[in-house]
Amino acid sequence: MEQLPDDLLVEAYLKAVSLRLNEDFIQLIESELERRSLHVRLPLTNRMSS
């Protein structure tokens, strides 16, 4: 994931959440976002319920 530009990583994360992809995959992207100190706010309609 280190080769993926920040904007594409954010786009991939938003798409993964909106498509409700595997939670492990989403957590992997979240870890990379955190490592890069990137903060993403999800629209309320895209947030997954606990």
- CATH number at 13 reads 1.10.287.1100
Give the Cα separation of 49 and 37 in Å (integer). 24
Is position 12 within any domain?
yes
Number of domains forming the structure of the chain: 1
Average pLDDT on 12-16 reads 97
**CA atoms of 41 and 49, how far apart (whole Å):** 15
Q: From the CB of residue 12, how many other CB atoms can be counted at a distance below 10 Å?
A: 18
d(CA 3, CA 21) in angstroms, rounded, equals 22
**What is the average pLDDT across 34-46?**
87
What is the Cα–Cα distance from 26 to 48, expressed in whole angstroms?
11
Q: What is the pLDDT of residue 50?
A: 46
Give yes or no for residue 2 having a pLDDT over 90.
no
Q: What's the rounded mean pLDDT across residues 4-11?
A: 97
- Residue 20 located in a structural domain: yes
